Each structure stands twice: as structure tokens, then as C-alpha cells.
Amino acid sequence: MNTEKQETNRKLVALTFDDGPSETTPKILDILEKYNIKATFFLIGNLITKETKPIMERELRMGCEIANHSFTHSDMAAMTGEQIREEIDKTTKLIKETVGYDVKFFRPPYISLSDEMYENIDLPFIVGLGCRDWEPDATAKERKEIVLNEVKDGTLVLLHDFIGNDNTVEALPGIIEGLKEQGYTFVTASEIFLEKGIDPNVKRKLWTNVFG
């Protein structure tokens, strides 16, 4: 065992955002920057373009992490192994080519799952604590309250930066301030596993909290 393993008693949370890069992403980054905190962005491969590349560069400059959320955001449980590998490999490769970053995590679109996916995707699967922020009728206040009531040490929080998701932009400052009041430190997905001394590479495991 590595005796220098970084284990601390800090309360850690990892904010994660799906479905970018989009025009909502800079609004999220402005808020993260104001509070000087990091997050993890699960990108849809076919949204990576010349126009969105600067958003990705800004994410990395701010110390944020970039991860894989498929290429077409389709229901991957309906796909063959070959199609699944194409979704993942195209996105991983495009992120690498665009900003030189190696992704370390995957989140399944719609959290739709199959045996084929587990067999063909060689990245840890992240789900995260949802706050209904993909539902148009969930208010900013409701989103904030779900996160603040259900968060625990080691939680990955599932949020979305898709186009038009203004309620999450509105909820985010309150989520951050509430988590700070509860004593949380904000880290990336990679950092939350590393600092807690947990290996995320567990077969057929869906992670919402690094402890369970």
C-alpha cells in the first residue's frame, strides 16, 4: 500500500455538469470563477466544435475536469457493442485532439444502462446525486434544496449546462453558498476519489458517492 495516500477528513463534494459545451456553460463558469471553485463537465462529443473549443479551454484553465457523456446523447442501452465503442472512442479522441485532455470518467445519457455498455466502456460510470434539474418545472429553489438536503461527504452532484437551463444557473450560487456553510470543499471527480483513497475502476459500479 502507498503510505502517502492522500486521505483527509475534509468534507468533499464534486459538482458535475452534463450536456455541454453550450451557451449556458460560460454562465456556469462565471459563477464557479466568482467563488473560485472547480467542477467536472461531462461533454457531448458532437457539441465539440471550433466555436465551443474556447469554452473547453476555459474549463481546463480554471482547473475543471472534462469527462465523456457519449457522442450523440442517444439511448446507448439500445446499441450494439460496436456502436457503444464508437460513441465513447469518438468523444474521447475528439476531446484529446481539441484540448489535449485525457478523460477519466463516463456518464451514460439518461442513465440508461446495459450489459453491453459495461462490457464495452472502459471508464468508471458516474451517476451522481440528481436534483431534478433536467425537468423544466423544477424551480431553482427546489434544485438547491434537494442538493443541500441530500449531500453527504464524498457526493458527486449531477447538474446540467444544456441550452436554456436557466434555473440551474439561478440555483448555483445558493447551492455553492449552502455547501460552503455545511463545510464542504469543492473538488473535481478525479480529486474526490484520489483524496478519499478510493479506486473508481470497479466493474459494473455506478458511482453517486465515493463511499457507496
Chain contacts with Zn ion (rule: CB under 5 A): 18-19, 109
CB of 109 to Zn ion, least distance (A): 5
Q: Which of the following is catalytic: 18, 19, 133, 161?
A: 18
CB nearer to Zn ion: give 18 or 191. 18
**CA 128, chain centre distance (Å):** 8
CB of 9 to Zn ion, least distance (A): 33
Q: Which amino acid is at 105?
A: F
Provide the angle, in degrees to the nearest 10, between the axes of the packed helices 166-181 and 140-150.
30
CB of 54 to Zn ion, least distance (A): 22
Q: Rounded CA gap, 183 and 178, in Å?
A: 9
Residue nearest Zn ion, Cβ-based: 18
Q: Which grid coordinates are listed for 123?
A: 471508464
Q: Decide if 166 is catalytic.
A: no
CB 18 within 8 A of CB 159: yes
CB nearer to Zn ion: give 20 or 200. 20
CB nearer to Zn ion: give 72 or 190. 72
Q: Which of the following is catalytic: 19, 69, 133, 160?
A: 160
Q: Decide if 19 is catalytic.
A: no
Q: Which grid coordinates are listed for 47?
A: 457539441
CB 64 within 8 A of CB 104: no
Q: Give the catalytic positions in this structure.
A: 18, 160
